Each structure stands twice: as C-alpha cells, then as structure tokens.
Amino acid sequence: MKEIICLGIEATAHTFGVGIVTNEKKILADVRDMYTTEQGGIIPNEAARHHEQLKEHILEKALEEAKLKIEEIDCIAFSQGPGLPPTLHVGKNFARELALNYNKPLLGVNHLCGHLEEGKFFTAAKDPVYVFVSGANTQIIAYEGGKYRVFGEALSVGLGNALDKFGRAVGLGFPAGPKIEALAKKGKYVAIPYVVKGMDVEFSGIVTHCEQLFKKGVAVEDLCYSLQETGFAMLLEVTERALAHTGKKEALLIGGVAANQRFIEMLQIMCKERGVKAYACPLKYSGDNGVQIAITGLLQFTTKTNMFTTEKEIQQAAIDPTWRIEDVAVPWMH
C-alpha cells in the first residue's frame, strides 16, 4: 500500500499547530505556536489574530521539517470543533484554501477525538477508558455501542481550569498546575469537600472553599496537596466505575493535567488493584497540536469519514464550535 501523508491543522483555541504524519506512524513535522497573555485568559479575537499572522510561517516550517512540498501531501485535515469560533474559522479557512489550491481532499476532525486517537497512537492502549483532563475539558470517555461515549464529566469548570483558578487566587501565576504539583509535595491533608454526583464531578465549590481557607491562613502547600488528592480521587472513582461498567482492561490518561506525576501514580494504583493496564499520553503531546489532527485525519481518510472532496463540498465545509464527542462517526473503531 502506498504511503499516505496527512497534514493536520489545529486551531481550536490558543494554539496554532501544523502536524504532518504518515499512515506508517511516522511523524514528519510538528510545529506549533501558542498565544499567551500575562493574565492567563484567552481573548478569542486576539488568539485568532495570532493564528492569522503565523499560519503561513508555521506551514512553511512544517513542510521544511518534513522535507516535503505541499504537492506531496495526500490530504489536509483541520480541527472543525469544538472550540472558539474566531480561531476555528482561521484554521478552517486556511485548510479549505490549501485543499482547493492544491486539489487535496479535506477532512473535518473533532478536536477531542484528536486527543483520544493521539493517546492511543503514542501508547499501547487499544480500547481504553479515557481519562481526559485538560484545562477546559474533564471527561471520562469510552467506546461503547459504535461511539465514543461520555461516562462522566465536570459539571462546571474542568480540573485544569479549577487548578488555575485556585492558583490565580493564591498568587501562583499561570498555568498553576505544575506549581501546585510542586507545592503539594510539602503539604498535608486538610478537610475539603469531595463532590461526585452520580458519574459527574464538580470542582468549582471546592476551589471556592480552598480560597476561603487560604484567606483564613491555611498553608498554601496543604491546600495544594488536598486539592490534588481530592480532585484526582474524584476522577478516579468515576473512572473505576466506568471500567467496572464497560469491562475494559485499559485506562488512558490524556490532556494537560496528565503531566501530573501524582495523578499518574494514583491511576496506576487503582488500575493495579483492578487488574487493568494504566497508560498516560507523553507530555509532549498532551497539549493541543497539529499531529493529533493529522493522526485522526488519516483514520478518516482511510474510512472516508467526514471527508470533503469536490470543490463545492470543500467550499461548504463549516466549523462546529459545540461538536460533542458522542456525535463523532468513528468507523475505524468498529
């Protein structure tokens, strides 16, 4: 079979990334640039401007890294959603322009699906329960009955954003996750709420409670330790129930919070007790990037899924800012 090369464009939020990957699992390029602000939040139109200004340069660098001309690429994939509409538009317009100018098929990739497929690509996991914990997203997902299904999720703020919110309140700067991890090593447990509702988790009240304890003079190290232990235990309780329900034998940690060594250790302990294999996506690929879009684009190309080929189809390919993972067609999993 001829080697297939996919170029993936990621633009759902702060990162503009171009990844080039082959169906023989070779990563030929991974170039990305992240829009950042001193305060830590994202202003969507500013992020879109950042992407607009850098897109050509990032594409050029990626092609240079891959030692390829764009004519040698077989298909173009782009992150179609979910995400911020202004940044999604930049990625979609750029991908459409390339597909039309160079007569390539275009593939619309779900960003969350990109994270899931990338997690499997870089580990030995085949059909795991996914523990997806990034800044905005916190979901326990598994493939069941022909689809990826969300078994439980954070009801308001995701765990990464909750850690960042606490960090901002106590002056740790952004992103706070790594600093909380370091401080937690010197902390001890203080009682804070543990909020699991059915299969869902809720972090916002816990963060407010920790902020109040901080104002009352409780040591920041103790709060970091308690916040980590509680937040991770809540997620692992839901994960364990998802494993019991589905009977799956693997759990895979993905998203920025997967960088946390204590989280990985707690996952490993729970999995060992259940006779389940624990995996974590490598740090380098836990954040947003073009490689995850290219990996998923290849799966879609080979199964002709959400693929736009005619000029009219490509011109009409639109973004979907609220696209849920349950609504993604994944025929390669059947």
Q: Which residues bind ligand ATP (CB under 6 A)?
A: 13, 134-137, 160-161, 163-164, 175-178, 181, 255-257, 259-260, 286-288
Distance in Å, CB of 46 to ligand ATP, minimum: 16
Distance in Å, CB of 78 to ligand ATP, minimum: 16
Residue placing its CB nearer to ligand ATP in the complex, 36 or 316: 36
CB within 8 Å of 269: residues ≥ 6 apart: none
Residue placing its CB nearer to ligand ATP in the complex, 63 or 236: 236
Closest CB to ligand ATP belongs to which residue?
A: 256
C-alpha span between 229 and 291 (Å, rounded): 32
Q: Which amino acid is at 123?
A: T
Distance in Å, CB of 50 to ligand ATP, minimum: 14
Q: Provide the 3-class DSSP secondary structure of residue 19.
A: strand
Residue placing its CB nearer to ligand ATP in the complex, 41 or 331: 41
Distance in Å, CB of 14 to ligand ATP, minimum: 6
Q: Provide the 3-class DSSP secondary structure of residue 131.
A: strand
Residue placing its CB nearer to ligand ATP in the complex, 90 or 259: 259
Residue placing its CB nearer to ligand ATP in the complex, 225 or 308: 225
Distance in Å, CB of 139 to ligand ATP, minimum: 10
Which of 28, 85, 15, 27 is closest to 54 using CA atoms?
Answer: 15
Is the alpha carbon torsion for 295, 297, 301, 306 positive or negative?
positive
- Bridge partner residues of 132 (DSSP): 139, 254
Crossing angle between the packed helical segments 111-121 and 290-303, to the nearest 10 degrees: 90
Residue placing its CB nearer to ligand ATP in the complex, 286 or 300: 286
Other beta carbons within 10 angstroms of residue 188's beta carbon come to: 10
Distance in Å, CB of 74 to ligand ATP, minimum: 27
C-alpha span between 174 and 178 (Å, rounded): 9
User: Alpha carbon of 6 to those of 52, 106, 127: distances in Å?
Assistant: 21, 10, 23
